Homo-oligomer: A and B are copies of this chain.
Amino acid sequence: MAKLTARSEDYSKWYNELVVQADLAENSGVRGCMVIKPYGYAIWEKMKEELDRKFKETGHQNAYFPLFVPKSLFEAEEKNAEGFAKECAVVTHYRLKTDPNNPQKLIVDPDAKLEEELIVRPTSEAIIWSTYKNWVQSYRDLPILINQWANVVRWEMRTRLFLRTTEFLWQEGHTAHATSAEAVEETEKMIHVYANFVQNFMAVPVIKGLKTDSEKFAGAEETYCIEAMMQDGKALQAGTSHFLAQNFAKAFDVKFTNKEGKIEYAWATSWGVSTRLMGALIMAHSDDKGLVLPPLLAPIQVVIVPIFRNEEQLAEIDNVVFDIKAKLESKGISVKYDNDDQNKPGWKFAEYELKGVPIRLAIGPKDLENKSVEVARRDNLTKEVQPLENLDTYIDELLKTIQTDIYTKAKDFQQDNITKVDTYEEFKKVLQEKGGFISAHWDGTPEEEEKIKQDTKATIRCIPLENPLEDGVSLISGKKSIQRVIFAKSY
């Protein structure tokens, strides 16, 4: 395989090459749409499985709503329409027919024009709230706690595998509540669920916060987010949870009789994460040799490579490995034994480094003699020899250590790259020379935010939830501020 471009040389190129070479995804023949290959999809499946478990644990059920949204439903919620219904795939016809001039060709049948155009969902608030209308009459019908796993389409002009694609996979939670307080509680609960998943499973530290008015979701009263730092110091929004207040209930007339017998509009939340998380996972940990996967999301946790000169040696190694493999698997560890005789061990080592397999065991005739095995860690590239005795227990513990170590490394990097600055000069200097996140005072106006964005391309990523109050003056206007916010360039 071709060597990856180094991160230091061209971070963006490194990422693009890695996604393709590690067999995660590739561009398809359809503009901006990707093919998620089996190895990439296996990681996404592990993410889905854990997220789905967490959603159900917190009382949510899955359901499925239509792919298409009639144009008129989008018009109902004005801000949502502005934010989402513009760059989207529009279905205008429902039939093709054979071209009368060329029977090999198909053409759109002009007689099959839809009365009302259908939008391929860019998000499902409109279709879901138009459905909830019939589900809600009394406070007894609330809350509705529903999640959907689905594909969505947003017509992006510049696309990048996983990070920004025309079609992507995601989950979208859509809940309805009887009170504002309950909806806010749900919104906050879900951002914590996301943070917990991203930190503990993806081993990516995040900052939980609120979006400013200019950055929040169209139609939301408040958008909570988690922001992760990539190795180039840029921010990646990894998940959002929106308090939608009564905006959608009003747009779609979702009313209920409360305990006191009064008619009220329902309160809404929505929250989502997408295949973009794959991009975050890849960019947060991987290195110039390839992927680095946290054990909890690795489709293969341990790969075993035999070192042999002839079939006799291989047969002896096979015997020992079958036993190791069985023991590891009985502990729930996923193991691949690669005893293919077409590729040399060196090739295999490079291949599994590229694929990010957390632990590699290599075993040859010497190891058999010594009843030992070479254990190599993917994350820090260290190697050591371990006795075969109790190897399963050792590996089980080592996987946990690696999971923690990958998180700690990323957390240290994040901490090292959050810089407090107090003047705009310093802000620009740090952004240019060091990058990363900048913690600074802001006067709370969209004007200052916009000016900084225009000057530097950095935006306010969030107002952190766990923010210490601190008196200060804002970067440009010099107005009083009571807390710092996080600025960064972002994906």
Chain A residues at the B interface, C-beta cutoff of 8 Å: 26, 28-30, 33-38, 41-42, 45, 61-71, 73-75, 78, 81, 85-97, 104-106, 108, 117-120, 127, 130-131, 134, 140, 146, 150-151, 153, 155, 167, 169, 342
New A-B pairs, 14, CB < 8 Å, besides A29-B73, A41-B61, A87-B95: A29-B70, A67-B120, A67-B151, A67-B167, A74-B106, A75-B104, A81-B106, A85-B106, A86-B97, A87-B94, A88-B94, A91-B92, A92-B92, A140-B342
Could you say which residues of chain B place their CB within 8 Å of the CB of A169? 64
User: How near does chain B come to A38, taking the closest CB pair, in angstroms?
Assistant: 4
Q: Which residues of B contact A118 (CB under 8 A)?
A: 30, 89
Chain B residues with CB below 8 A from A36, complex form: 63-64
A85 touches B96 (CB 8 A): yes
Q: How far is the CB of A395 from chain B (nearest CB, A)?
A: 23
Pairs of residues from A and B, 6 with the lowest C-beta to C-beta distance, nearest first: A33-B66, A38-B61, A36-B64, A90-B93, A94-B155, A30-B66
- Cα A43 to Cα B69 in complex, Å, equals 25
Q: How far is the CA of A108 from the CA of B87 in the complex (A)?
A: 11
A30→B127 contact, CB < 8 A: yes
Which B residues are CB-close (under 8 A) to A151? 67, 150-151
Q: Are A28 and B127 in contact (CB under 8 A)?
A: yes
B120 touches A108 (CB 8 A): no
- Chain B residue numbers with a CB within 8 Å of A131 are 26, 28-29, 35
Docked complex Cα distance between A90 and B130 (Å): 24
Give the distance in Å from the alpha carbon of A91 to the alpha carbon of B96 in the complex: 11
Q: A34: which B residues are within 8 A, CB to CB? A: 66
Select the residue from A66, A81, A85 with max chain B CB neighbours within 10 A. A66
Among residues of B, the one whose C-beta sits closest to the C-beta of A33 is: B66
Cα distance, A36 to B131, chains bound together (Å): 11
**Cβ of B95 and Cβ of A30 under 8 Å apart?**
no
Number of copies: 2
CB-CB under 8 A for A90 and B92, given A45-B62, A62-B38, A62-B42: yes
**Interchain Cβ contacts under 8 Å between A and B, 19 examples:** A29-B70, A29-B127, A30-B69, A33-B68, A34-B66, A36-B63, A36-B64, A41-B63, A67-B153, A75-B104, A78-B104, A86-B97, A89-B93, A89-B94, A89-B118, A91-B92, A94-B155, A96-B117, A140-B342
* Distance, CA A93 to CA B155, complexed state (A): 10
Please give me the residue from chain B that is nearest to A94 by CB atom.
B155
- Check B91–A95 contact: CB distance below 8 A: no
Whether B37 pairs with A63 at a CB distance below 8 angstroms is yes
Rounded to whole angstroms, the CA-CA distance of A352 and B273 in the bound complex is 35
Interface pair B94/A108, CB less than 8 Å apart: no
- In the complex, A169 Cα to B149 Cα: how many Å? 12
Contacts of A66 in B (CB 8 A): 28, 30, 33-35, 167
Q: A93 vs B119: C-alpha distance in the bound complex, in angstroms?
A: 10
Q: Which of B70, B90, B127 sits near A91, CB closer than 8 Å? A: B90
Q: Name the CB-closest residue of B to A144.
A: B38
A117 to B90, CA, bound (A): 11
**Nearest CB of B to A85, in Å:** 6
Closest beta carbon of chain B to A35's beta carbon, Å: 5
Q: How far is the CB of A69 from chain B (nearest CB, A)?
A: 7
A74 CB contacts on chain B under 8 angstroms? 96, 106
**Would A65 and B108 be within 8 Å (CB), given that A95-B87, A127-B29 are in contact?**
no
Residue of B nearest to A86 (CB): B96
**In the bound complex, CA of A87 to CA of B78 (Å):** 33
Instruction: Point out the residues of chain B lying under 8 angstroms from A117, CB to CB.
Output: 96, 108
Q: Which residue of B lies closest to A146 (CB)?
A: B38
Determine which residue in A78, A92, A131 has the highest number of CB atoms from chain B within 10 A of its CB, and name it. A92
